[in-house]
Amino acid sequence: MAIDLTYEQRAFTEAVAEFAKREAGTREQRDALTDGGRHAHHQGIYQQMADLGWIEGAIESMSDTVLFLEQIGYGMLPVGGFPVSAIVAAAIERSGSEEQKKTVLGGFTTGRSYSIAMSEPEAGSDVANLSCRAVADDDGYVIDGQKTWISNAHFADAILLVARTGGAPGDHDGLTMLLVPADTPGLRISGIDTMGGKEVNDLYFTDCRVPADAVVGTAGKGWWQLMAGLNVERLILAGLMLGTARRAFDDTLAYIKERKQFGRPIGSFQVLRHRIADLATEIECCRLLVHRTAELVDRNPQQVLPRESSMVKLKVTEVARETALAGMQMMGGYGYATEYDMERHVRSTLVSTIYGGTSEIQRDIIGKTYGL
């Protein structure tokens, strides 16, 4: 089913796809860019895309953003700085001061990366339970506490921190967003090794001082500012995983057309034909859901869409995971071998159902929108 694209959008997606094929089209190229898959971001590739004006073009609308993300995911481009930076940039655009917008939005479109720090050892899905504290003093705020599972902080220029400036853990009021440069004294960034390589970090704040103008929006109202960004965050994650699901599907399809057992291609066996048919249908449903939700956001950027944004995040990440795992099963031992890309697809899709709000949380939100 065709998605209606403008001439400019079609040209844009084709250009990004061609770039991905040229710069990261082979396993050898991707290994060289990512140290064998250990790093999700290559600044040289990212800078090229920024210099071409693609980062700026990708954020003109939510529809443009998901198109760009789909191509990044499908092309396996090592530009892991883009999705999280786009989430931060959207938050600054909604709530930031003019100076913050100039710094962050300008930096983003020219190749800088940003990180957002919410999760803590005792506060993951329960965001209101944050305890990392920023205490006001005469010159600004003094931050103390820990954040964990923070994507991209090890190469980010600045971190959008969600800290408690009032109230007690469990309160929605009293949370504040602060923009903290990554080189601020008192901030220590420590990497966490994961299945996906070097992606996330622990952040330790010890007497870390930021000026008063580091506050993004209104002090104490960070929770409500975060809620206003749910559409963007969940669509960004869904757009990326849509591309990854499509790539895992195509890699599987190519393999089962070539691999022979019992004298014929394994894709000719009914059990695999039917599995491919089901996956193709699910991915097409995801495409329609992603682009339809992006269209709704573009029509009214101020409207929060809890049901639609949770549905798109839930559906696409679950289908991406299912597609990658099915691909591994259909490829047999080759799907498990690091020589092939399928094991990378599995690793990246498994975590997608956890970050940005787990599948369980998304289901809970969707149920509540129906009065349950």
Whole-angstrom Cα distance, residue 48 to residue 19? Answer: 10
On whether the pTM is more than 0.85, the answer is yes
The answer to whether the beta carbons of residues 327 and 250 sit under 8 Å apart is no
**Which domains does the chain possess?**
7-110 (1.10.540.10), 114-219 (2.40.110.10), 224-370 (1.20.140.10)
Please tell me the predicted confidence (pLDDT) of residue 170: 83
How many residues belong to the chain?
A: 372
Whole-angstrom Cα distance, residue 215 to residue 95? Answer: 10
Beta bridge partners of 133: 144, 164
- Indicate if the pLDDT at residue 1 is higher than 60: no
Kindly calculate the radius of gyration of the chain based on its CA atoms and give it in whole angstroms: 21
Q: How confident is the model at residue 2 (pLDDT cuts 50, 70, 90)?
A: low
Whole-angstrom Cα distance, residue 129 to residue 122? Answer: 7
The answer to whether the beta carbons of residues 55 and 82 sit under 8 Å apart is yes
The pair of three-digit structure tokens given for residue 350, joined into one six-digit string: 């498994």
E strand segments, 6-77: none
Please count the helices (runs of H) and the strands (runs of E) in the chain.
Answer: 14, 10
Residues 6+ apart with CB under 8 A from 327: 248, 249, 251, 252, 255, 335, 342, 345, 346
- Report, as residue numbers or ranges, the catalytic residues: 233
Mean pLDDT of 178-185: 97
Whole-angstrom Cα distance, residue 235 to residue 248? Answer: 20
Mean pLDDT, the chain, integer: 94
Whole-angstrom Cα distance, residue 314 to residue 358? Answer: 8
Cβ–Cβ contacts within 10 Å for residue 111, how many? 18
The pLDDT tens digits of the residues spanning 325-368 come to 999 999 999 999 988 999 999 999 999 999 989 999 999 999 99
